[in-house]
Structure 1
Amino acid sequence: MTTTTKSLEEDMVDFDLELLTNMLMKRTEEDKREQTAFFNKLDAAIEEVQALRQSIEPLFTAMSTITRNNPTRDPHWDCNVQGRLNEEKSEE
């Protein structure tokens, strides 16, 4: 009778371990899918930001070229903060 009881207890433990293992594996797969989805969204957002930056960059280049090449420009309205600081220092 003891061997039957022990065998039943072992079967219960084995069943519990198998159930827990299956639950853990399922959760791990779900976590991997969630992680993959998150990183895919992150990659897409990074690509969008890079595309926006590339599309805006020529505008900033043009603005700085126009500002630098304009002989009548008012130095106080200069877009370049460092340039203004240098001009203020030279006036002092």
Structure 2
Amino acid sequence: MRVTVFLSEKLDIQITEQVKHLLICLRERPQSVKEAMKNLGLNHRPTFIYDYLKPAMSLGFAEMTEPDSPNSPKQKYRLTGKGKAFLSLKNEDINHGRFEQ
């Protein structure tokens, strides 16, 4: 299922359920791949990378905490300002009955 979200009048983004779940997972704090997978109940790393993480990053909703060292053992992922704005918008739409799942 895809959800269309308008972050501005000119921006129409298609967000998968997987990306939404990852953003919710990253809401509280940055997480490593292993932590996020555990919190999402996933066991298959490629599924997480290609269905959750890469789309969230390509949309600008998530980013690396160590962008200069992508293979660092300390690497974690966090929400960007755009990701936080999406979650705020999502919560506002749910509260006003405008968000369709």
Q: Name the TM-score, length of structure 1 as normaliser.
A: 0.23
The structure with the largest helix share of the pair is 1
Q: Name the TM-score, length of structure 2 as normaliser.
A: 0.21
Q: Which has the higher contact order (CA 8 A, sep 6+)?
A: 2
- The structure whose Rg is larger is 1
